[in-house]
Structure 1
Amino acid sequence: MLNFKGMRFPIDVILVCLRWYAGYPLRYRHLEEMMEERGMSLDHSSINRWAIRFLPLIEKMAWKHKRPVGCSWHMDETYIKVKGVWKYLYRAVDNQGKTVDFLLAAKRDMAAAKRFFDKAIGANGDPDKIAMNKSGANKAAIDAINAGRDVPIVVRQVKYLNNIVEQDYRAIERVTKPMLNFKSVRSAGTVLAGIELMHMIRKGQFEIDDADAMSFAEQFFTLTGPVRPV
């Protein structure tokens, strides 16, 4: 359970702000204005602190209910600007477009790619094959993983095969684009965890009772606990 002890504002107010921020192309100041219209005076910096504190915890809780993904993955890396410097968001989806995993890294190299693959495989099991771009670093990371396996993961480095993951990233970019420059890799990573969570909810990736009868908001609140939206 999330620990909201010591918070000035009700739990439902905090979670509504986090859901809106992670789910829609909004800035913290937009949420400050929106909550003021609802009669709640809060500072945008408070919402920022809530995002840093709670979004990664919520994503971790939700991950326990994540449906299994397929065994054919499509992996790519893209760019996220942090304090004026480009960092690298590694992502993978399966053949159905379901999110496998993601990782924000400071560098684009073999070590970062291997951290991503280790994380994705640890959480989702072994894939049969992975489609990726022509990056030598990504291929070297899989080669290192395959070196210790009896049955290697098949790698396909054909650009058009990765259209599915490139298209999927647009939903993430739509939310991150209006956000002002992230101030640290940590803050960027925590916010991205929330954005990826909301994206997975929209794709129906969580085992939730009666999910088909629920809105995305209701699914989010079900994953975070017995809290209703304001």
Structure 2
Amino acid sequence: STLSSWRMDETYVRVRGKWMYLYRAVDKVGNTLDFMLSERRNRPAASRFFAKALSSNGIPNKIVIDKSGANAAGIREVNKILNRFGCPAKIQTVRSKYLNNMIEQDHRFIKRRVRHMCGFKSFRSASATLDGIEVANMIRKRQFPGPTTSGFQLFAQIAG
């Protein structure tokens, strides 16, 4: 189970010469919760990302975001949906540039791998490659429980 406070942000990735958005969420201690590549940075994209993250990680008490209006609108949308289903919990939104430093630092691991590629040729290849980079990063952070001794063994288990 995840902690009650999330950090959420997006970073840019070049695909076919156009900027795409990699939405990412980490918990308070920096563990990756979810990620999603999107062609747009708007309310529907943010709502889709939050729905995906909530379905696999549960509902947090609060989500820290930057000053992005699209992300705030996405959380409002999710809160409306939760309310419609009779869920008493409301996700609190904290808009702070500085509380999000943890996720901004976490973007470095993606940027370090992607920078030398000069962009991706297709959305599908970008998505697949970023999935691999994120999983490798999660292995590096030791996010997967189990008696494995090396990152390679864990990767072989997940891939197999």
- Scaled by the length of structure 2, what TM-score is found? 0.93
Q: Which residue of 2 aligns with 1:99?
A: 32
Query: Hey, what's the Cα distance between the residues in 1 that align with 2:2 and 2:142?
Result: 12
Match of 2:71 in 1: 138
Alpha-carbon distance, 1:74 to partner: 0.2
Structure 1 residues not aligned, in runs of 5+: 1-67, 226-230
Higher-Rg member (1/2):
1
Aligned 1:4-23 pairs, distance under 5 A: none
Question: Superposition RMSD on alpha carbons, in Å?
Answer: 1.1
Task: Give the SS at the match of 1:188.
Answer: helix
TM-superposed deviation, 1:194: 0.6
Identity of aligned residues (%): 48
- State the TM-score, normalized to the length of structure 1: 0.65
Give 1:215's aligned amino acid. Answer: S
Answering whether residue 6 of structure 2 is matched by residue 69 of structure 1, we say no
Q: Runs of 4 or more off by more than 6 Å in structure 1?
A: none
Give, in whole Å, the separation in 1 of the partners of 2:89 and 2:4. 14
Aligned partners of 1:181 and 1:146: how far apart in 2?
35
- Aligned residue identity for 1:99: T
Among candidates 106, 110, 114, match of residue 176 of structure 1:
114
Instruction: Select 2:92's aligned residue among 154, 165, 171.
Output: 154
Say which SS state the counterpart of residue 207 (structure 1) adopts. Answer: coil
Q: Tell me which of the two structures has the higher relative contact order, counting C-alpha pairs closer than 8 angstroms and 6 or more residues apart.
A: 1
SS of the residue corresponding to residue 161 of structure 1 reads coil
1:224, 1:86 → 2: CA distance? 29
Deviation digits for residues 107-128 of structure 1, max 9, x if unmatched? 1100100010000001111111
User: Higher mean Cα deviation, 147-156 or 105-114?
Assistant: 147-156
How many angstroms does 1:131 deviate by? 0.1
Count of residue correspondences: 155
Task: Please report how far the alpha carbon of residue 69 of structure 1 lies from its aligned counterpart in structure 2 after TM superposition.
Answer: 2.5
Q: What is aligned with 2:144?
A: 206
